[in-house]
Structures are given as C-alpha cells and as structure tokens.
Structure 1
Amino acid sequence: MTPLQSGPFDPGAEGQDTHLVVENARGQSSLWPAWRAVPKGWSAVFGPAPHEACVGRVEARRG
C-alpha cells in the first residue's frame, strides 16, 4: 500500500508554520502553502504561520 501524501492545502502538523496568506492587486486574499513559490501577481501578506492562524487571517480580511 502506498502511503498518503499531503496536498498543498492540507493543514500539516499542528503548530508548524506551513502556510502563508497571499493577496493580489485586486485585494483578494488566499491561503497558500509556505513551501510553494508565491504565484505571479500575488504577494505574501502574512506568515509563514500555522494553518489555523492563516485561515483566521483570510476570514478576517473577508469580513
């Protein structure tokens, strides 16, 4: 049996700095895995930080 691999948006280990919050010129924000390069047209605005902290930051920016 092949072990399951983590996807880019899996939370990862609790307490680990696994994600970023990225934003584009239109003010849209998104969760992004810290180990991947930030895509063209987006900038990191928070993190790297644990998954839950980044989710909270994205939700706060939407609200």
Structure 2
Amino acid sequence: MSARTGPLDPGPEDVATHQVLESTAGPRSLWPAWREVPAGWSVRFGPAPYGACAHALERGPDAA
C-alpha cells in the first residue's frame, strides 16, 4: 500500500505549498499554491509553508 498525498497535505516545512484565500462573501480557506485561484476568491496570505498558512487562517482576517 502506498502513501498518497492530497492538496491539503502539509508537504515539506520549508516549501511554499499553500496560501490563504478569501472569497468576496468573506469566508477564508486554506488552498494549495499549485492550484488556480477560483473566481470570486483572492489570495490573502502566501504562498507560504503549510504551517504558516494554517496559523494565518487561525489568526483571522485582520492578522494575515
């Protein structure tokens, strides 16, 4: 059985693998940096390592 990775897997600590997106309606989301940003969303933080993005997402919209 092989290990598979998905778009929200952390990846290497020192690699900018993710970003935090914000929609025009206000919700925020953790998003893989290699994927195209969907219509109606914009990058709020990153690209940065997964941990930094997760931390920015937890801190809220005024902190990123």
Q: TM-score range by the shorter chain?
A: 0.7 to 0.9
Residues matched between the structures, number? 62
1:31-42 map, 5 Å: 31-42=30-41
Residue 41 (structure 1) shift: 1.0
**Structure 2 unmatched ranges of 5 or more:** none
1:10 & 1:58 partners in 2: Cα distance?
15
Seq. identity, %: 52
**Structure 1 unmatched ranges of 5 or more:** none
Partner of 2:24: 25
2:40 & 2:33 partners in 1: Cα distance?
16
For residues 17-59 of structure 1, give each alpha carbon's deviation from its aligned partner in whole angstroms, at most 9, with x where no partner exists.
0000000012111100001111111111110000010001111
Partner of 1:58: 57
2:5 & 2:37 partners in 1: Cα distance?
19
1:34 & 1:54 partners in 2: Cα distance?
11
TM-score using structure 2 length: 0.85
SS in 1 for 2:53: helix
